Amino acid sequence: MVGFLFPLVALLSLPSISKKNDIESAESTRLLRESVVVDRQKKVLGVWVGSSLLVVGGGVGLAAGIFEPYQVATPVAAVALGVATWAKSLEEKNKPLPESHFTVGESRIPEAGKGLFAAKPIEMGTFLFFYTGERLTDDDYFERYPDGQGRYVAELPSPPWSLEEPIYVDGANSDLSGLARWMNSRSNDDSGRNVVGKKSITGTRNFHFYALCDIAEGEELCFDYGVNYWDAVAVVD
C-alpha cells in the first residue's frame, strides 16, 4: 500500500509544481518589463535634464550679462534644426524595389536554412524594402516572449525625448511578414555584409534596408542582426 502512495503523492503534487513554475515565470517577466521601462525612463530623463541645464545655463548667462541674446539663440536653433534634420533623414518616402528583384533559396551560409538573393543587379544605396510583420505593443511582446527574446523581432524605438512605447515588428510568421525576414547574418562577422538597416523614429516608424554596396545578380543579401539577436540565440540554444 505504501508503495502505491508514493506515485500517487507525486501525481497530486504535479499541479502545484506547475502552478509554482507559472508564478515564477510571470514574476520573471514582470521584473524584466519593469527593468526595460525604467531603463527607457532613465534615458528620457537624461535627455530632458541635459536640455534643461542648457536652458537654465543660457538664461543665467543672459541675466548676468555674460551672453548676448544671439549667442544663446544661435546654438539653440542650431541644435533644434540638427535634431529635426536627423529625425527627418531616418524617414523613407521612396517605394521599395519590386519583389521580382529578389528570390528566396537555400543559403550559402552553413546551417542558415533559407536565404534571400538578388534576382537582378542592385546599385549601392538603393532602398530595398521595409522589415514587415506583426506590429506588437509592449504588452503583446512580453505576452508572446516572456523572456524578452524574440529572434525575428525588430524593435522600433520612440524618439529619445519621448516616453512613448517602442513598436515591436515580429517577422517570425513568414505568412505575415516580408522579404527582409529571409536575410541572414554571418554571426557577428561583418565580412560579406552587403545590406544596412535604418530605423525611423517619428511618424510611422519603420525599419528600412539599403544596399551597402553594388550587389550582383545571384548574390545573397546579408546584414548585421545585432547583439540582441545573438543573445536571443544563445538563450534558445
Model confidence over 152-204: pLDDT tens digits?
899 998 887 788 888 999 999 999 999 999 999 875 555 678 999 998 887 78
Model confidence over 49-68: pLDDT tens digits?
766 776 776 677 667 777 67
Query: Which range has the worst mean pLDDT, 70-74, 127-131, 137-141, 216-220?
Result: 70-74
User: What's the pLDDT score for residue 151?
Assistant: 84
Model confidence over 18-33: pLDDT tens digits?
554 555 566 666 666 6
Q: Which residues are registered as beta bridge partners of 169?
A: 135, 154
User: What's the pLDDT score for residue 30?
Assistant: 66
Which cell is 111 given?
546551417
User: What's the pLDDT score for residue 162?
Assistant: 80
Residue 206 and residue 232 in contact, taking contact as beta carbons nearer than 8 Å: no
pTM: 0.69
Residue 56: alpha-carbon gap to chain centroid? 35
Distance CA 151, CA 231 (A): 9
Which residues, in sequence order, are CB contacts of 224 under 8 Å at separation 6+? 185, 190, 193, 196
User: What's the pLDDT score for residue 182?
Assistant: 94
Residue 44 and residue 161 in contact, taking contact as beta carbons nearer than 8 Å: yes
Q: Which residues are registered as beta bridge partners of 129?
A: 209
**Average pLDDT for residues 6-27, to the nearest whole number?**
50
